[in-house]
Amino acid sequence: MEQKMDSVEKAQRDVFFSGFGEQYHPEIAKLAKREDGRYAIEHKENLGRITAAHDLEFGVKAGQVFYNGQRVTLTDNTTNQGVSQWFPAPSKITKTEGQQLLWDTEVPRAVQKTYVEFNDQAAKPEEKRIEHTVWLQLDFKHKTKHDNFRVVESPDFNMAEKLGDFVFKPQLRMPSDMGKAIETMKKGGEIEIAAQDGLPKVFISANPSRGTFHIRDEEGTLLKHDQFRTEAAKQADQARKEGQNQGHVDNPGQTPMHRYNRNPREMSPGRSSGRHQ
């Protein structure tokens, strides 16, 4: 009996931390009395012209209840067109994160997640717990064999430092404002930057695949970054490009094999490689 209660409590906890609160706890508890199989609890939200439907799936076996994950579907009420994705429980995608990941199929939103793994073979206790932070985006051009959009992972990047490359950083003067903006973008949201110094009002969101941000106007059109970059950032970019042209900086995404293919004697001042002798 205690084991059955543990499984119910765990399923309730999983749903709670997925952003649905305790509203479905009674229904989850009743599942323990159902026959073995799969069951769903439906949750809907009205997001203006968009309706978000969350099908929370549970498995029941021998009186134990397991939370399998959620299928999120966003439907445009004006066109009746929708987009859907299955998020398994181990992904730990919350209700809001699922909505954000599906919100824009042309310029996909991204959410930051930190996953924890345990290495029982580690010699030191502090090395047993391993945290891995990644950004997740959906690739709306490719699907898996299970009819889900492919999930793309990108490495973490320093958002506060990157914001310093843009002239709209002064609008985030207080550390609390900067922190709120970053947390909003980590959850897949956009932040609004008011018009300033002849520049239009814009909306920015994380673009982790390039380690920077999407910048869009009020119509949703993507804008080029140059007009928003500080002079210092522009000069740094120019210096980097000049270094690449001179072969002093490796091209992004390329393996710097030239470092290892050169004759060691070429690296020593005052010596000839013998190549032109």
Q: How many residues does the chain have?
A: 277
Delimit the domains of the chain by residue range.
Answer: 160-266
- For position 269, what pLDDT does the model report? 29
The more confidently predicted of residues 197 and 215 is 215
Q: First CA to last CA across the chain, in angstroms? A: 87
pLDDT of residue 276 exceeding 80, the answer is: no
Structure tokens at 216: 């869009």
The more confidently predicted of residues 73 and 244 is 73
Asked if residue 40 lies in contact with residue 66, where contact means CB atoms within 8 angstroms, the answer is no
- For position 197, what pLDDT does the model report? 78
The more confidently predicted of residues 69 and 199 is 69
The more confidently predicted of residues 130 and 185 is 185
- pTM, two decimals, is 0.79
